[in-house]
Structure 1
Amino acid sequence: MERYSRITNKNQREIVLLKAKPCAWGKCRFCDYIDDNSENIPEMIRLNREVLSNVTGEFGVLEVIDSASCFELPEETLWDIKKVIQKCGIKKLFFESHWMYRRRLDEMREYFGIPIVYKIGVETFDNDFRENYLNKHADFKEPEEVAAYFDSPCLMVGIKGQTREMIARDIKILKNNFKLGTINVYTDNTTDVKKDPELIQWFAKEYGWLVEDPAVEVLFENTDFGVGD
């Protein structure tokens, strides 16, 4: 499992994949990422400290991800991140959080004392598909509700059951309402949610221009950021 990497093209930054406590929701139909959760706090702290020791501050920007939300990281790990920020001169932090924590985001901003870019796994702005099929437990109705709290939505494309129209609408919303975003091309995993190869092929052709868009990061593989397995 790779847990440290450097992103050197768009939005240059270092990125670490840390271990967290179990996801507070943990019921998204498509997600087996939560298998990286742990309840062994001492082991989590030790591993996370080891991973964070790789950070150099080269870009002054650090992204911290885990298999839940940033709020599921141990308190000791949050303190270790704070020390790395101070030691390495980190000026901006990327975090990811579930919708349920939207009213607590400023807690992290106050704790770390630097700007935080908050990502959120929206997956799709199609409310029916997101809630009734993917079981995301993010009950917003309009993109403006998301933009009021979060800076950078993460979308998923290429799932069986999605349509071209849904994807086109999602990308239009992303470009019109947010300064940054990530698009993840779905990869089959251990869940019953499956990819749609034909839809993925269409997306790659129709939206290939996004690869050059400085505001959107497209991940054709879930390890394209250099972390994960």
Structure 2
Amino acid sequence: MERYNKITDKNQREILLLKSFACSYGKCAFCNYILDNSYNENEINQINIDLLDKVTGVFGCLEIINSASVFELPLKTLEYIRKIANEKKMKTLYFEVYYSYLKRLDEIIKFFSAQEVRFKVGIETFDNNYRTQILKKNFILNDYTQLSNFYSCCLLICTKGQTREQISNDIETALKYFKEITINVFINNDTEITRDEELVKWFLTEKYPLLIKQKNIEILIDNKDLGVYVQ
């Protein structure tokens, strides 16, 4: 398990995998990150405070991921993030957020008033049926104008049941509505979702060489590529 890293190529930043309460939804068929969640608030805060003390502020940008949403972090952890961000003169903070928190984003923006807050949302795919029925991520996207409230999105690709056309459309749509996107090539992780090796070969051959050159696209061939992970 690794919880702290520095991203030194695209979008330079420090990144932390913090511990949190359980994801408010917690039913995504592809996710095993929820195994890192806890109900012990003292344990959560102690782990997170120790991690936050590693932050140097070298890039002026910090990304927080926590196997859930920023709203599942305890208040004491949030206050310590704010303390560190201010002390290190951070300009930008990234947080993960579940789509259903759309109407509460201002709470976090006000809490971290000294920084630009950028929200990253897991869309996974713009195919509503595949997202809800296969991936079991239960929200429907019809009004794409609301996506402007988020800065970045994550796409999950190369799972059984997806097609080349779906993946291509997802990437095109994400680039249209978000300033940055992260493309996650699925790695088998003992969940019910499985990897499609033929799609992986196609993506790495046909799509990856062009997409990787774009500054606003981050591609994770392995779920450890950001240097923070629970497995």
**TM value normalised by structure 2:** 0.96
Aligned positions of 1:5-20 closer than 5 A: 5-20=5-20
1:116-162: per-residue Cα shift (whole Å, max 9, x none)?
A: 111000000011100111111122224333x2321111001110000
Residue 137 of structure 2 aligns with an amino acid whose one-letter code is K
- The structure 1 segments of at least 4 consecutive aligned residues displaced by more than 4 Å after TM superposition are none
> For residue 155 of structure 2, what is the aligned residue in structure 1?
155
1:73-115: per-residue Cα shift (whole Å, max 9, x none)?
A: 0100000100101111111000110011011111111001111
> For residue 82 of structure 2, what is the aligned residue in structure 1?
82
> For residue 63 of structure 2, what is the aligned residue in structure 1?
63
Aligned positions of 1:62-211 closer than 5 A: 62-113=62-113, 114-145=115-146, 147-208=147-208, 209-211=210-212
Give % identity: 45
Residue 150 of structure 1 aligns with an amino acid whose one-letter code is F
Q: Secondary structure at the match of 2:130?
A: helix
Contact preservation (8 Å) 1:119, 1:150: yes
Q: Secondary structure at the match of 2:189?
A: coil
Calculate the aligned-residue CA RMSD, in Å: 0.9
Residue 145 of structure 2 aligns with an amino acid whose one-letter code is E
Q: Secondary structure at the match of 2:149?
A: coil
Q: Secondary structure at the match of 2:182?
A: strand
How far, CA to CA, are the matches of 2:177 and 2:103 in structure 1?
A: 20
Contact preservation (8 Å) 2:16, 2:63: yes
How far, CA to CA, are the matches of 2:141 and 2:62 in structure 1?
A: 28
Unaligned runs of 5+ in 1: none
Contact preservation (8 Å) 2:18, 2:65: yes
Residue 144 of structure 1 aligns with an amino acid whose one-letter code is T
Residue 130 of structure 2 aligns with an amino acid whose one-letter code is F
How far, CA to CA, are the matches of 1:88 and 1:223 in structure 2?
A: 27
Residue 39 of structure 2 aligns with an amino acid whose one-letter code is E
- Aligned length, in residue pairs: 228
How far, CA to CA, are the matches of 2:142 and 2:200 in structure 1?
A: 26
1:21-62: per-residue Cα shift (whole Å, max 9, x none)?
A: 000000011111100000011011000001111100000000
How far, CA to CA, are the matches of 2:98 and 2:34 in structure 1?
A: 13
Contact preservation (8 Å) 2:97, 2:121: yes
Residue 21 of structure 1 aligns with an amino acid whose one-letter code is F
Residue 136 of structure 1 aligns with an amino acid whose one-letter code is K
Residue 125 of structure 1 aligns with an amino acid whose one-letter code is F
Unaligned runs of 5+ in 2: none
